[in-house]
Structure 1
Amino acid sequence: MIKIILCDDHAVVRMGLKMLLSNHREMEVVGEASEGNEGIQLAQELKPDVVVMDLSMPHGKDGLSATSELKKLLPNVQILILTMHDDEEYLFRAIQAGASGCILKSAPHDELLGAIKMVAKGDAYLHPSATKRLMEEYIDSAKQGNHDTFSLLSDREREVLTLIAKGYANKEIAEKLTISVKTVETHKGNLMEKLQMKTRPELVAFALKKGLLGYGM
Structure 2
Amino acid sequence: MLNRRFPTFYSRPLHYEYNSPILQNINLKIKSGEKMTIVGLSGSGKSTLMKLLVNYFDVSNGEILINNLNILNISKKQLRSFINYVPQIPYTFSGTIKENLLLGNRTTITEKDIVTACKTAMIHDDIMHLPLGYDSKLDENAATFSGGQKQRLTIARALLSPAKVLIFDESTSGLDVLTEEKLIKNLMALSSKTIIFIAHRLSIARITNNITVIDNGKIIERGSHEELLKNKSLYFNLMQTQ
- Give the TM-score of the pair, scaled to structure 1: 0.27
Which is greater in Rg?
1
Which is richer in strand? 2
Bigger RCO (CA 8 Å, 6+ sep): 2
Which is richer in helix? 1
